[in-house]
């Protein structure tokens, strides 16, 4: 880690510097560097296999980088922590493939996500039961699943599962949300709603959204980073990035 503390570092909620990950010699991330500011919303685009999901795996402790720094809040080294500790720090994640607890009700999915003690002891002796209902209701309201609260998560539609997972993130109330392809498989109408939902979440949280849908990215109205072969190809406002020659060539032009 560099000994000089740059202002970039101290003002960031997430700081990646020279991060590399290889799988059997194949470099999924190749000296990737990126800075996300406090309260910032950032869209990440890039072709299949660019390393977007791998980047999230590194940030959340699922994959250990071979090289590079990953710092949270300017000082916490994420490369040494496991998933649960990173989640406790305040980083929440939505998977690319919607992942909810299928045999639990919508209500219980939110309940399990709700901020609070997470230890086996506390859950065994009932402390986790003391979640305030109004907080849960508020989340359900936000994601529009209030009328479905008693249904099993398995019975929800694809789009509803995506929302439920976003709702679980909200309930967790992290400082930083990592959202992987939230509108995959959604109708145009649902996509619009999701963009509005994320935009409102971004008012109070730092959010990183990975998405292929350019209409959606445009609707988010935030800074865009394009990844390609494990490193940053272009970064900036949506109009600048989407007209960048290299971006058009490797991604948009296909």
Partner 1 sequence: MILRTIIDLDWRGRVFLLVLAAVAVLVPLLNLAVPAGSAFNVPTYLVSLLGKYLCYALLAIALDLVWGYCGILSLGHGAFFALGGYAMGMYLMRQIGPRGVYANPVLPDFMVFLNMKELPITWWGFGHFPYAMLMVLVVPGLLAFVFGWFAFRSRVTGVYLSIITQAMTYALLLAFFRNDMGFGGNNGLTDFKDILGFNIQAQSTRVALFVASVVALALGYLIARAMVTSAYGKVLIAIRDAESRARFMGYRVERYKLVAFTVSACMAGVAGALYVPQVGIINPSEFAAANSIEAVIWVAVGGRGTLVGAALGAVLVNWAKTWLTGAFPEVWVFGLGALFVLVTLFLPKGIIRTLSEWSARRSDQRAASAAAEAGIGAVQQPAGAE
Residue among 196, 114, 104 nearest 156 (CA): 104
Cα angle 161, 205, 58; round to 5:
70
* SS3 track for the chain: CCCCCCHHHHCEEEEEEEEEEEECCEEEEEEEEEEEECCCEEEEECCCCCCHHHHHHHHCCCCCCCEEEEEECCCEEHHHCCHHHHHHHCEEEECCCCCCCCCCEHHHHHHHHCCCCCCHHHHHCCHHHCCCHHHHHHHHHHCCCHHHCCCEHHHCCHHHHHHHHHHHHHHHCCCEEEEECCCCCCCHHHHHHHHHHHHHHCCCCEEEEECCCHHHHHHHCCEEEEEECCEEEEEECHHHHHHCHHHHHHHHCC
61 binds ligand ATP (CB under 6 A): no
Site residues for ligand ATP, 215-234, by CB under 6 A, read: none
The single residue among 53, 60, 162, 242 that binds Mg ion, judged by CB under 5 A, is 53
The region of 46-54, 59-67, 97-105, 168-176 touching Mg ion under the rule CB under 5 A is 46-54
Q: How far is the CB of 33 from partner 1 (least distance, A)?
A: 24
**Per CB under 6 A, 53 contacts ligand ATP:** yes
Q: Residues 75 to 94: which contact ligand ATP by CB under 6 A?
A: none
Please give the residues from 81 up to 110 whose contact with Mg ion meets the rule CB under 5 A. Answer: 96
Q: Is 76 in the site for partner 1 (CB under 8 A)?
A: no
Q: Which is nearer to ligand ATP, 180 or 190 (CB)?
A: 180
Q: Rule CB under 8 A: say whether 11 interacts with partner 1.
A: no
Contact status: 83 vs partner 1 (CB under 8 A): yes
Residue 193 interacting with partner 1 (CB under 8 A): no
Among 27, 38, 128, 175, contact with partner 1 (rule: CB under 8 A): 128
Stretch that binds Mg ion, among 44-52, 107-115, 138-146, 154-162 (CB under 5 A): 44-52
Residue 120 binding result from Mg ion, ligand ATP, partner 1, none, given CB thresholds of 5 to 8 Å by partner type: partner 1
Residues that bind partner 1 (CB under 8 A): 60, 62, 82-84, 87-88, 92-93, 95, 99-104, 108, 111-113, 118-120, 123-129, 168, 172
């Amino acid at each position: 880690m560099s000994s000089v503390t740059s202002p970039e570092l101290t003002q960031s909620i997430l700081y990646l510097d020279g991060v590399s990950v290889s799988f059997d010699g194949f470099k999924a991330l190749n000296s990737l560097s990126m800075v996300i500011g406090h309260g910032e919303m950032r869209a990440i685009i890039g072709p299949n296999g660019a390393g977007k999901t791998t980047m999230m795996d590194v940030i959340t402790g699922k994959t250990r980088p071979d090289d590079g720094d990953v710092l949270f809040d300017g000082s916490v080294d994420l490369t040494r922590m496991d998933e649960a500790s990173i989640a406790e720090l305040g980083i929440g994640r939505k998977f690319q493939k919607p992942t909810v607890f299928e045999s639990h009700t919508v209500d219980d999915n939110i309940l399990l996500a709700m901020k609070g003690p997470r230890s086996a002891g506390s859950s065994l002796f009932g402390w986790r039961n003391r979640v305030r209902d109004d907080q849960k209701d508020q989340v359900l309201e936000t994601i529009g699943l209030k009328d479905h609260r008693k249904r099993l998560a398995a019975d929800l539609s694809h789009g509803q599962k995506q929302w439920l997972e976003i709702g679980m993130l909200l309930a967790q109330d992290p400082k930083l949300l990592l959202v992987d392809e939230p509108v995959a498989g959604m109708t145009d109408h649902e996509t619009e709603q999701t963009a509005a939902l994320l935009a409102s979440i971004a008012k109070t949280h730092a959010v990183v959204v990975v998405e292929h849908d350019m209409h959606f990215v445009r609707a988010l109205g935030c800074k865009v980073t394009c990844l390609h072969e494990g490193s940053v190809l272009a970064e900036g406002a949506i109009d600048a990035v989407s007209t960048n020659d290299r971006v058009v060539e490797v991604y948009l032009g296909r």
